[in-house]
Amino acid sequence: MQRLTVLGSTGSIGTSTLNVVARHPERFEVVALTGHSQIDLLFHQCVQFMPRFAVVLDEVAAARLRVMLSDAELATEVLCGIEALEQVSALPEVDTVMAAIVGAAGLRPTLAAARAGKKILLANKETLVTAGAVFMDAVHASGSVLLPIDSEHNAIFQSMPHNYSGDLQRSGISKILLTASGGPFRNTPLDALQNVTPEQACAHPNWSMGRKISVDSATMMNKGLEVIEAHWLFNAAAEDIQVVVHPQSVIHSLVQYVDGSVLAQLGNPDMRTPIAYGLSWPERMDAGVAPLDLFKVATLNFQAPDFERFPCLALAYQALREAGTAPAMLNAANEIAVAAFLERQIPFLYIPRVIESVLDVLPVYPVTSLDDVTAADAAARRVALEQIRLIT
Task: Determine the pLDDT at residue 192.
Answer: 84
Give the residue from 176, 183, 258 showing the smallest Cα distance to 214.
183
Task: Determine the pLDDT at residue 213.
Answer: 82
The domain spans of the chain are 2-148, 156-268, 323-391
CATH class of 323-391: mainly alpha
Amino acid identity of residue 6, one-letter, is V
- CATH code assigned to 2-148: 3.40.50.720
**Residue 360: CB atoms within 10 Å:** 8
Tens place of pLDDT for every residue, the chain, 392 residues? 999 999 999 998 999 999 999 999 999 999 999 999 899 999 999 999 999 999 999 999 999 999 999 999 999 999 999 999 999 999 999 999 999 998 778 899 999 999 999 999 999 888 999 999 999 999 999 999 999 999 999 999 999 998 898 999 999 999 999 999 988 888 888 888 888 888 888 876 655 567 888 899 999 999 999 999 999 999 999 999 999 999 998 999 999 999 999 999 999 989 999 999 999 999 999 999 999 999 999 899 999 999 989 999 999 999 999 999 999 999 999 999 999 999 999 999 999 999 999 999 999 999 999 999 999 999 999 999 999 998 77
Task: Determine the pLDDT at residue 204.
Answer: 63
Task: Determine the pLDDT at residue 205.
Answer: 64
Task: Determine the pLDDT at residue 391.
Answer: 78
Residue 69, SS3?
helix
Query: b/e string for 75-89 if b means 16 or more Cβ within 10 A?
Result: ebebbbeeebbbbbb
Give the residue from 124, 102, 123 showing the smallest Cα distance to 210.
102
The C-alpha R_g of the chain, in whole angstroms, comes to 20
Rounded CA-CA distance 120/106 in Å is 13
Task: Determine the pLDDT at residue 183.
Answer: 85
Total residues belonging to the chain? 392
Residue 303, SS3?
strand
Q: How many angstroms separate the Cα of 98 from the Cα of each of 149, 215, 288?
A: 9, 23, 19
Give the residue from 107, 131, 183, 51 showing the smallest Cα distance to 327.
131
Task: Determine the pLDDT at residue 191.
Answer: 84
Rounded CA-CA distance 123/100 in Å is 5
Task: Determine the pLDDT at residue 180.
Answer: 94
Give the residue from 180, 187, 188, 134 showing the smallest Cα distance to 367.
134
Task: Determine the pLDDT at residue 207.
Answer: 57
355 HSE (CA, 13 A, CB side): 32
Q: Which residues pair with 303 in a beta bridge?
A: 245
**Taking the model in full, what pTM does it have?**
0.91
Rounded CA-CA distance 352/73 in Å is 50
Ordered DSSP codes for 166-220: S-TTTTTEEEEEEEE--GGGTTS-GGGGGG--HHHHT--SS----HHHHHHHHHT
